[in-house]
Every structure is written in structure tokens, then in C-alpha cells.
Structure 1
């Protein structure tokens, strides 16, 4: 697993605990970029081009939810290059160095080998990123459903729906939920042999309550 993938995986885990549960997928993606790009004083500058590419330029409500949760100071959105101050002390004690974290921030924008369409909703982008952070070089890709749901900020049922949507747009070839172990497995389009049985589109992945 690459250093960038490991760093993003660690940061997603941190954000799942640090951010309020109601934080939107767009807010989680924005917080990830801020945390990975911050210096040792908790300061970060985000160029307008980056925010436009993330489809977050001018999205005041996304900044407000992070500020309301006490995670950062509301920036002046009129500036061409936003200066943001983070409050969480855990961000100040990050390791490894800033260069490694910035490379991880760039990887998180296009987390190969899983790449959703550029216009995909932020919920699908975040789910793709979480899967990419748990995708190994081998053909066996898996994670617990509870972990995926927590990092995506959704319930297991909502996460299952998002995995179905990623399969429908061919980001994934197939995915399967093992109810006995709560393990989720997925297959990527470029892989020749399936790592698990494909799931019929009409079959529920989760047991009903």
C-alpha cells in the first residue's frame, strides 16, 4: 500500500472521529484537503482552482458546517486564495512531513485505481476514496461494512446503496457483503478474475431488520 493511500486512510479515520456525525460528504472531502495541506500552526491556503475542481467554490454552506462543528475558523470566501485556520490540536501534531501529506492530498483528488466521473456527487466521490484507501495491490479488496459506513458518514444501508451506484457506473465491477463476518469485498474493472461472486442487482446486500 502506497504512502499516500496509507496517509489518506489514517486521515479519514481521524476525521470520522473529529467531525460531527452530520457532516456532509462534501464537508468531509473539504476537511480532508484542509487537514492534509495544513502547516504546523494549523494554517492552510486553498487556491480557487482547487475548490473549483472539487466543485466546492463558493459553497458557503459547506464551510459553515465545518465552522459550526468547531473544527475550523470560517474563512473569507471573497478572497481568491482562501486562508483557513484549523482548531483541532490533533492536526498540529501530524506526521509524517508536510511534503508527504501534500502528495496524499493530491492523490485523494484522483484516488487511482478507482476514479468516479468528474461530475459524480460528493457522496460517490467520498465512497470511492474510502474504497481506494482500502484497496490493496492484490486482487483481494475488503473492509468491514461498519468501517466503510463510519468513514463515509452514512448508515450501512446507505453505504450499500452507494456501492450499488458505483457498480452501475462501472467504478466497481461487483461487490459482496458477507453477513457472517460483516466483510465487504469488491472487484475492480481492470481485474480479470472476480475475487468474489457477483451480486444480482435485485438481491439485497444487507439483512433486513
Structure 2
């Protein structure tokens, strides 16, 4: 591009680089590049987080055994169901918040269950029970030794809720639902078969000896168990879950 008449007129012409450089009062117009519009990187599908530590059944079974030692022997099934959810959902500061919808799904007397846990000095309720739920601080530092992966523990808590729901158990009685959760937690998923000591079932589920046979008989009548029996030699209890009574693991965390 060359100028004439003192720069008032400019002429645009094609020329090689050498000619353009030799032309007086000329300026080389640089080549322009059309840049492609920037596009955001493709969104990678989120991979499910791998589970860490024991599975849902093992984790629930371990907490039920822990609660059998941490709570008084006469603690009600409702208090144990509430404590199970608190232990699995607590954060690293041993605090837990349970919303009202979750508490309703437990189908227990939440006020009485909270009083039981406070009398046992296992938990301290700092807010509620109310319309929004409860907030509590757990007082047993033994719980800090469990797996720190909160999403995995929440999955186990959700599994326990589904396993012990009245629609599956066939009744709303907390003792019956707690027993159903225990038996499912100690069953082999593919076959549904389980084995445990009779005394341990009574202790972990808070059952008195006279209520043990009644609870398992009702679970059989309600279609949760296919059969159960006590080995006369060892005293162990053998049972088999009815077909379709092994809840699936949720595909993602809640």
C-alpha cells in the first residue's frame, strides 16, 4: 500500500516483498488470519466415585454390633434405628443433622428416641426435634475410628432405610424393622443365606429372649424370610431371605 499527495491518497497493489520494500512511501499490509471461534472443551461424563472401605451391608452390620456395646441393653429399637443413622451420617466433627423427611421415614417416636440417647450419654441434641428435623453432637469418640468416607457411610445409611422400610418388612414396629435390617446386613447377597449366633442377634437387635422367636416368625410370615432354624448343636441361627429381599446398592450418593 503506497501513499500519494502527502498521504491523502493510498493505493493498494499486489507486489512481492522485495518490490514492496524498495517502493518509497509504501507500507506492507500484513496477512490476516481468521481464527476459529473458541469452543469449550467437551464435557467429560462424571465417573462414579469408587467406594472405599467395606460395603453397605458390612458397614451397617458393624455399626449395629457397635451400638449393642455402646448403648444400654434395654435401649429401644427406635433409639437404635436413630443411632444407626446418626453414626453413619455424622461429619468429622461428630455432628449430624437429620432432616424431618428422613425422620418420618424411620417411623419411630423421635422425641423419646432422642431422650434415650441423651440419657445414655451417647448423643447431645442441640436443636430439635422440630419441623426441620434435629441436629445433634455425638459423644462417643470411638466413632471417629470408622471409615472417614462420608459418602460411603451415607450410602450405607440409605441402604438401611430402604431395607427397614415398613413396605418391605410388612409392619411399622421398630423392633421388627431393626431385626430385618440386621438379618439383611448379615446375609450373602447372591443366595440370601445368613448365619449368626442366637445371642448375638438378641444383643444387636435389642431383643429379649422371649421376643426373638416372635420377631423371626413374623418376618417369615410377612415374606421377608423364606425360612429360619436354630442348630441344636451350636445354637447358631440359619436363615434364608425370601427372593427379592436383598435391596440393591444405590447407583450414586445422595
TM-score by length of 2: 0.69
Query: Which of 177, 181, 184 does residue 125 from structure 1 map onto?
Result: 177
Following superposition, the deviation at residue 157 of structure 1 comes to 3.2
Query: Structure 1 stretch 42-51 or stretch 58-67: which is displaced more?
Result: 58-67
Query: Structure 1 stretch 174-183 or stretch 135-144: which is displaced more?
Result: 135-144
Write the distance in 1 (CA, Å) between the matches of 2:58 and 2:241: 19
Query: Which of 27, 31, 53 does residue 79 from structure 2 map onto?
Result: 27
Q: Deviations over 1:95-135 (max 9, x none)?
A: 141111110000001129x9313x42000000000101110
Write the distance in 1 (CA, Å) between the matches of 2:168 and 2:181: 8
Write the distance in 1 (CA, Å) between the matches of 2:190 and 2:236: 17
2:117 equivalent to 1:66: yes
> Which protein is bigger by CA-based radius of gyration?
2
The ranges of structure 1 where at least 4 consecutive aligned residues each deviate by more than 4 angstroms after the TM superposition are none
Write the distance in 2 (CA, Å) between the matches of 1:156 and 1:178: 16
What pairs up with 1:1-209 in 2 under 5 angstroms? 3-56=55-108, 59-75=110-126, 76-78=128-130, 80-111=132-163, 115-117=168-170, 119-139=171-191, 140-190=193-243
Asked if the contact 1:115–1:128 (Cα under 8 Å) also holds between the matched residues in 2, the reply is: no
Write the distance in 2 (CA, Å) between the matches of 1:97 and 1:64: 29
Write the distance in 2 (CA, Å) between the matches of 1:137 and 1:157: 29
Query: Structure 1 stretch 141-150 or stretch 44-53: which is displaced more?
Result: 141-150
Asked if the contact 2:175–2:207 (Cα under 8 Å) also holds between the matched residues in 1, the reply is: no
Following superposition, the deviation at residue 63 of structure 1 comes to 0.7
Q: Deviations over 1:64-101 (max 9, x none)?
A: 01100000013422351321111011122321411111
Following superposition, the deviation at residue 141 of structure 1 comes to 1.9
Asked if the contact 2:107–2:172 (Cα under 8 Å) also holds between the matched residues in 1, the reply is: no
Following superposition, the deviation at residue 147 of structure 1 comes to 1.3
Higher relative contact order (CA 8 A, sep 6+): 1
More strand by share: 2
Aligned partner of residue 115 in structure 1, secondary structure = helix
Unaligned runs of 5+ in 2: 1-53, 245-254
Query: Structure 1 stretch 130-139 or stretch 24-33: which is displaced more?
Result: 130-139
Matched pairs, number: 187
Unaligned runs of 5+ in 1: 192-209
Following superposition, the deviation at residue 163 of structure 1 comes to 0.3
Write the distance in 2 (CA, Å) between the matches of 1:77 and 1:183: 40
Query: Structure 1 stretch 140-149 or stretch 12-21: which is displaced more?
Result: 140-149
